[in-house]
Structure 1
Amino acid sequence: MSTTMTRRHLAKLGLGFGAGALLSRSAFAQAPAFFRIGTGGTAGTYYPVGGLLANAISNPPQLVLTAQASNGSVANINAIASGALESGFSQADVAYWAYTGTGLFEGKGKLEDLRLLANLYPESIHLVAAKSANIKSVADLKGKRVSLDEPGSGTLVDARIILNAWGIKESDLKADFLKPNQAAEKMRDGGMDAFFFVGGYPTSAITELAATGGGIDIVPLSGPEADALIKQYSFFSTDEIPANTYKNVGAVKTLAVGAQWITSAKVPDNVVYEVTKNLWSDKTRAALDAGHAKGKFIRKETALAGAGIPVHPGAAKFYKEAGLLKS
């Protein structure tokens, strides 16, 4: 049998190799992409919003998103940097500090692989006080039992910034470091005077406390101290929690930071593109409007607001197509 290869044989062989390569690429393209979202404590806003987005954006079997409870912004940033999570929610300030190696991350090195997928909604800073504690301003926290939130949370970072702005030292307080739901339970039992929480309103822990406890106040964060903070930190903005957001609580002027969806430069562009495209689909829009009070604030038009870190190339591709980002 001759071993001479004719042009016809080579052509057939080439077609075979080509078909095999196409099949291989097709199989690879159909391989499921798993995309985890680090959220926050179950009593906060990150957790329900994360679950809502995961359900709406997932397109199995090709794209599967899952939301995971976590300790919040700092924990999520660290998990993304280590590869333990593909993405997570973070306050804009925490993401900026991590990327630049400043603030909370001073001396820990820059986490330069962090990338923005989308800015989501403003997170209001709540300073919740038991009515019986008679706390009307930050200055009244001296000598009180106050929870600053747990280590690893963005709330703890901002609570310390706020205390400093009002001239309060941590040693001036009887400080505790609890999740919001734990702090609320302790307040309901008479063991806590006030606690900080940063998140979209309304949040379940505060809603339940206002409805079942002895009444609460939301302490305003306004005036010259707040103005100075906004001037010093560009990620802070003025905000107002509307009247009756929480039972028997009037409108309260406060501060806010952006809640952002962060990912890693190491996550493939095509995966992030699909997640971003599905985030701004009609299906997700309907789920956001119906699923959570903060859903209506998650708008494509503000997806790049307050971007203190680079936008992921996969997300940037979508935003360019949508006319939100120049080439």
Structure 2
Amino acid sequence: MPESIYKKAALPVIIISVIMVIISSVRWFDHKNKVNTVILATASQKGQYYAFGKALSKVVKKHNPKINIEVIPSEGSQQNEQWLQQQKVQLALLQSNTPLSASLDVVSFLFPEVFHLVVRSDAEIKRVSDLKGKRIALMRPGSGSYSLFWVLSHHYGLQASDFTALPMSSQEAFQALETGKVDAMFQVIALGNSQMTKLLRNPKIKLVPIDQGAALQLSVPALENTKIPKGAYNGAIPIPQTDLSTVSVRAILVSHNQVDSNLIYEITRILYESRNELVKENVQAAMIAAANSNNQMGFAFHPGAQAYFDQDQPSFIVEYAEPISLGLSVVLLCVSGLLQLRVWIQGKQKNRADVYNLQLIELIEKVNQAKNIKELKEIQKQLWDIFEKVIVDLDCDRISPESFQSFTFPWDVALKTIHHRETLLSTGITNGSFSDSQLSKIAEKDS
């Protein structure tokens, strides 16, 4: 390949290689030092979702300072699901009965949330069907508790016109029940809630069983049969007095499937491997399902979370994509440098061969001007000296085989010119004029 083509090809490759090295270096450095802020939508600031979110944020920050979980309040599961779809948030806490769009994936099942139907003792409500004609405090529309109440009431044959539904905040509902402004309150909440504990220690307030959990599962598969254990809300005078049948639904941590898998993997890892620390911050974390039991109800799990559950480490290429890119760029740069070096060496080899060729041309000129055999012998000696040098340079790669081939032609011409000049001198002809007899003698000698 001609030297000019090598140079034209090498320069763009070197420039591109340098740019790739710079870009890869900047991206790798940025990735290693970047703090990822993730927004987590929960529920009311006074609710358990918000409290759990703050606990998770604190523990994740402790174990990985490059992940900052920003916890924000919301109206509940319905709003959280919408925010996730709109990518206004990256994580959200939902109830597992919440329909998820195809763009959302589960990160983990968390703690169970239990149906609490709490009534005033004087309201004569012993079962769900007794809510007919009563005033019922519900959580605000958009919350999981609100939507699940209608599932429950329809199952027991109640219509919206059969009772008075009064949506309000959790705090307002507790106060309304205590003061007699409502006859009952329904909330889906984790066991051990401090507000619920305080409320149930009022002798005028009691829990009503919900004992058709298996039947409710036919319409909402996410529901689970469960019990509120005897003494869960008071041990001295047991509240409830016996294990109370009810229904529960799991809180789940959900993410948009476009969120980086490595980021979700790390949050999932900390969630499970640092659960003891999480329990200290929020007792509900003690009821988080084991990692190997998360494959349930046909939910699609985020690839990052699934990788952790399967105990799969990220592939070598995925984990070291940026260093590999940097390495390849460096290799490409080195190859480009070697290519340029080769062009330079070939140019140098050609220049050295050109020097020898010029010397041969000068010797040929001297041969034509030689006056006697002695001068020819001296020129012939110089010719063989040049040949020796060329052979040594060829052996040491100071000239290329191609340059050697180009050298042999003028060298052979020079050698033949010496022989021809020697013939002319030996016959005494040097002026270029030949008689017929002299030409005949020259021809005989050359032959």
TM-score (norm 2): 0.62
**What are structure 1's unaligned runs of at least 5 residues?**
100-110
Q: Give the deviation of 1:204 after TM superposition.
A: 2.8
What CA deviation, in whole Å up to 9, does each residue of 1:62-92 have, x standing for no partner? Answer: 1101222222211111111111111111111
- Structure whose CA Rg is larger: 2
Counterpart-to-counterpart distance in 2, 1:51 and 1:35: 13
Q: Secondary structure at the match of 2:34?
A: coil
Which structure: greater strand fraction? 1
Partner of 1:192 in structure 2? Answer: 182
Report the CA distance shift for 1:221/1:260 in structure 2 as closer, same or farther (over 3 A).
same
Q: Give the deviation of 1:315 after TM superposition.
A: 1.2
Q: Give the deviation of 1:122 after TM superposition.
A: 1.5
Counterpart-to-counterpart distance in 2, 1:32 and 1:80: 21
Partner of 1:219 in structure 2? Answer: 208
**What are structure 2's unaligned runs of at least 5 residues?**
1-6, 314-447
Indicate yes or no: 2:66 matched with 1:74: no
Match of 1:64 among 53, 65, 68: 68
Partner of 1:102 in structure 2? Answer: none
Partner of 2:223 in structure 1? Answer: 236
What CA deviation, in whole Å up to 9, does each residue of 1:229-261 have, x standing for no partner? Answer: 123332111111112222452131100111110
Letter in 1 for 2:66: Q
Q: Give the deviation of 1:290 after TM superposition.
A: 2.3
Counterpart-to-counterpart distance in 2, 1:233 and 1:293: 27
Partner of 2:407 in structure 1? Answer: none
Q: Secondary structure at the match of 1:294?
A: helix
The alignment covers a number of residue pairs equal to 301
Report the CA distance shift for 1:172/1:186 in structure 2 as closer, same or farther (over 3 A).
same
Contact preservation (8 Å) 2:91, 2:254: yes
Task: Work out the percentage of aligned pairs sharing the same amino acid.
Answer: 24
What CA deviation, in whole Å up to 9, does each residue of 1:273-318 have, x standing for no partner? Answer: 121122122xx31223323332211143355153443111111121
Report the CA distance shift for 1:7/1:166 in structure 2 as closer, same or farther (over 3 A).
closer
| CA RMSD in angstroms, aligned pairs only | 2.6
- Of 82-91 and 213-222, more deviation after overlay is shown by 213-222
Match of 2:49 among 46, 60, 65: 46
Q: Give the deviation of 1:184 after TM superposition.
A: 0.4
Indicate yes or no: 2:162 matched with 1:175: no
- Of 235-244 and 112-121, more deviation after overlay is shown by 235-244
TM-score (norm 1): 0.83
Q: Secondary structure at the match of 1:156?
A: helix
Contact preservation (8 Å) 1:52, 1:291: yes
Q: Secondary structure at the match of 1:235?
A: coil
Q: Secondary structure at the match of 2:283?
A: coil
Match of 1:280 among 272, 291, 294: 272
Match of 1:259 among 251, 262, 285: 251
Indicate yes or no: 2:308 matched with 1:321: no
Partner of 1:311 in structure 2? Answer: 301
- Of 55-64 and 270-279, more deviation after overlay is shown by 55-64
Letter in 1 for 2:267: V
Partner of 1:106 in structure 2? Answer: none
What CA deviation, in whole Å up to 9, does each residue of 1:38-67 have, x standing for no partner? Answer: 112234321211111111112564110122
Which structure: greater helix fraction? 2
Partner of 2:108 in structure 1? Answer: 118
Counterpart-to-counterpart distance in 2, 1:76 and 1:8: 54
Indicate yes or no: 2:95 matched with 1:91: yes
Match of 1:205 among 195, 201, 211: 195
Counterpart-to-counterpart distance in 1, 2:111 and 2:285: 8
Counterpart-to-counterpart distance in 2, 1:302 and 1:123: 20
Report the CA distance shift for 1:233/1:302 in structure 2 as closer, same or farther (over 3 A).
farther
- Of 193-202 and 304-313, more deviation after overlay is shown by 304-313
